[in-house]
């Protein structure tokens, strides 16, 4: 449920080492070193924001192509290859990760309304710390779709709950994107593990409907035509006596995949690259669970679903240690706080790869 690229085209060397030292040359050289150092520091701060769970909003400093693509020599300053590559990556535009949130008055699904709002805020911080812009759609957006009334009437006739009706509305919101490349949509309980903004740009270059949670619509990218195609297929197949366990967008998506060819659905990727709960493990001798870097590095994101959070708290005991006093059965309510802890702990898996 979230560009402009910044490119410098000059091919000339901007900061040549002068044959004879003089005041002006020395000043230019110092400016070059200072500028590159500040830029590198800004970039490292962006990457380190995973550990602090904060977004870095500093503007990207313009860097000449010679700095990025040459041997790494700027005047007398030798820049390591990995640093020049990191600087090049930092100049990439940010994709947008979108989620949908329209509160159910009084809360639902084992959570207060405040608990849901806390989770949305945590979701936003997490994706922005991974190099994404974020966007939260609401019911107002969905109501603008020409098929809203028809879809919602069918949902009411099928006695679909308030919460599950909202899950269908988000598809309408995504189908309204005017960008022909469409966009990303995630649940607001989905948090990035390896899916940086840079990787998101790579994945979105492939056309069609791409789901990375299989029939669970926790992480999807689709172009505008594909979003609209799936919306219309859902509407056409939605009836109270559908041959599914219960009517939700997840079950209807599975129904479509079971009854239609992928090419008819416009599917180009149908994978499961998500971890289903908190990526933690128990370590003998340690009271609290620890982040499992193998799980982190092997998945795009972690889906901190109700069921996954319950299993982590009550079965595997891999629910992160949070400051709040959590009573039995409150695993869903405190997912935002647990997600914040997880995002800080991710630094143990990511930071060693920065340098």
Q: Could you report the per-residue pLDDT of 263-299, keeping only the tens digit for each?
A: 999 999 999 999 999 999 999 999 999 999 999 999 9
Q: What is the pLDDT of residue 177?
A: 87
Q: What is the mean pLDDT of the chain?
A: 79
**Residue that is last in its domain, among 238, 257, 273:** 273
Beta-bridge partners for 272: 213
Question: Residue 100 falls within a domain, yes or no?
Answer: yes
Q: How many CA atoms lie within 13 A of 160 on its CB side?
A: 28
Nearest-angstrom CA–CA distance, 242 and 240: 6
Whether residue 193 sits in one domain with residue 108: yes
DSSP H/E element including 265: helix 262-265
Whether residue 252 sits in one domain with residue 148: yes
| Pairwise pLDDT comparison (251 vs 30), residue with the higher score | 251
Q: Is the pLDDT of residue 86 over 60?
A: no
In terms of C-beta density within 10 A (0-12 exposed, 13-18 middle, 19 or more buried), how is residue 287 classed?
A: exposed
Whether residue 205 sits in one domain with residue 245: yes
Nearest-angstrom CA–CA distance, 93 and 73: 25
Question: Residue 145 falls within a domain, yes or no?
Answer: yes
221-225 mean pLDDT: 94
Whether residue 170 sits in one domain with residue 226: yes
Q: What is the pLDDT of residue 182?
A: 76
Q: Is the pLDDT of residue 2 over 50?
A: no
Q: What is the DSSP letter of 18?
A: P
Structural domain count, the chain: 3
Nearest-angstrom CA–CA distance, 212 and 281: 23
**In the chain, % of residues over pLDDT 70:** 72
* Buried-state track 249-270, b at ≥16 Cβ within 10 A, e below 16: bbebbbbbbeeeeeeebbbbbe
* Buried-state track 302-313, b at ≥16 Cβ within 10 A, e below 16: bbbbeebbbbbb
**Residue that is last in its domain, among 41, 69, 90:** 90
Q: What is the pLDDT of residue 59?
A: 29
DSSP 63-78: --HHHHHSSSEETTEE
**Residue that is last in its domain, among 273, 297, 313:** 273
Beta-bridge partners for 222: 183, 209
Q: Is the pLDDT of residue 312 over 50?
A: yes
Nearest-angstrom CA–CA distance, 136 and 97: 9
Residue 252 backbone dihedrals phi, psi, to 5 degrees: -70, -40
Q: Check if the beta carbon of residue 169 is closer than 8 Å to that of residue 100.
A: yes
Whether residue 163 sits in one domain with residue 310: no
The confidence band for 115, taking pLDDT boundaries of 50, 70 and 90, is: very high
In terms of C-beta density within 10 A (0-12 exposed, 13-18 middle, 19 or more buried), how is residue 156 classed?
A: exposed
Q: Which two tokens stand for residue 45?
A: 């701060």
Question: Residue 6 falls within a domain, yes or no?
Answer: no
Q: Check if the beta carbon of residue 1 is closer than 8 Å to that of residue 137.
A: yes
169-215: pLDDT as tens digits: 999 999 998 876 779 999 999 999 999 999 999 999 999 999 999 99
Q: Check if the beta carbon of residue 77 is closer than 8 Å to that of residue 36.
A: yes
Per DSSP, the three-state class of 31 is helix
Question: Residue 220 falls within a domain, yes or no?
Answer: yes
Question: Residue 61 falls within a domain, yes or no?
Answer: yes
Q: Closest by alpha carbon to 275, among 304, 312, 254, 250?
A: 304
What is each CA distance from 310 to 107, 205, 213, 271, in whole angstroms?
18, 36, 19, 24
Per DSSP, the three-state class of 327 is coil
44-84: pLDDT as tens digits: 444 444 434 433 332 222 323 332 233 333 333 333 444 44
Question: Residue 325 falls within a domain, yes or no?
Answer: yes
Whether residue 263 sits in one domain with residue 224: yes
Q: Which residue has the tokens 């849901």?
A: 116
Nearest-angstrom CA–CA distance, 88 and 74: 15
Q: What is the DSSP letter of 169?
A: H
Q: What is the pLDDT of residue 103?
A: 86
338-353: pLDDT as tens digits: 999 999 999 999 754 4
Domain that holds residue 176: 96-273
Whether residue 112 sits in one domain with residue 77: no
Beta-bridge partners for 183: 222
């Amino acid at each position: 449920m979230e560009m402009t690229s910044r490119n410098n085209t000059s091919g000339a060397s901007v900061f040549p080492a002068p044959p004879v030292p003089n005041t002006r040359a020395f000043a230019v050289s110092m400016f070059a070193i200072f500028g590159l150092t500040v830029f590198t520091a800004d970039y490292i701060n962006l990457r380190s924001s995973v550990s602090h769970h904060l977004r870095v909003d500093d503007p990207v400093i313009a860097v000449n192509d010679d700095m990025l693509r040459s041997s790494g020599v700027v005047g007398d300053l030798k820049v390591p290859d990995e640093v020049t590559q990191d600087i090049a990556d930092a100049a990439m535009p940010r994709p947008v990760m979108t989620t949908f949130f329209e509160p159910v008055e009084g809360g639902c699904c084992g959570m207060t309304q405040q608990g849901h709002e806390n989770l949305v805020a945590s979701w936003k911080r997490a994706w922005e710390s991974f190099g994404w812009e974020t966007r939260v759609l609401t019911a107002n957006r969905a109501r603008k779709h020409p098929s809203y009334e028809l879809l919602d009437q069918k949902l009411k006739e099928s006695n679909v709950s308030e919460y599950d009706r909202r899950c269908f509305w988000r598809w309408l919101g995504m189908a309204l994107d005017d960008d022909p490349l469409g966009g990303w949509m995630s649940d607001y309980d989905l948090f990035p593990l390896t899916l940086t903004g840079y990787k998101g740009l790579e994945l979105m270059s492939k056309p069609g409907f791409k789901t990375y949670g299989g029939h669970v619509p926790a992480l999807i990218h689709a172009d505008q035509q594909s979003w609209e195609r799936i919306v219309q297929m859902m509407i056409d197949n939605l009836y109270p006596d559908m041959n599914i366990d219960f009517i939700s967008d997840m079950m209807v998506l599975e129904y479509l995949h079971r009854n239609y060819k992928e090419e008819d659905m416009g599917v180009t990727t149908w994978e499961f690259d998500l971890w289903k709960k908190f990526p933690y493990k128990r370590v003998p001798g340690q009271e609290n669970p620890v982040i499992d870097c193998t799980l982190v590095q092997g998945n795009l994101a972690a889906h901190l679903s109700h069921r996954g959070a319950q299993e982590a708290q009550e079965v595997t005991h891999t629910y992160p240690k949070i400051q709040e006093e959590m009573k039995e059965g409150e695993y869903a309510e405190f997912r935002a706080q647990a997600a914040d802890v997880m995002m800080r702990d991710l630094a143990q898996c990511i930071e060693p790869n920065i340098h």
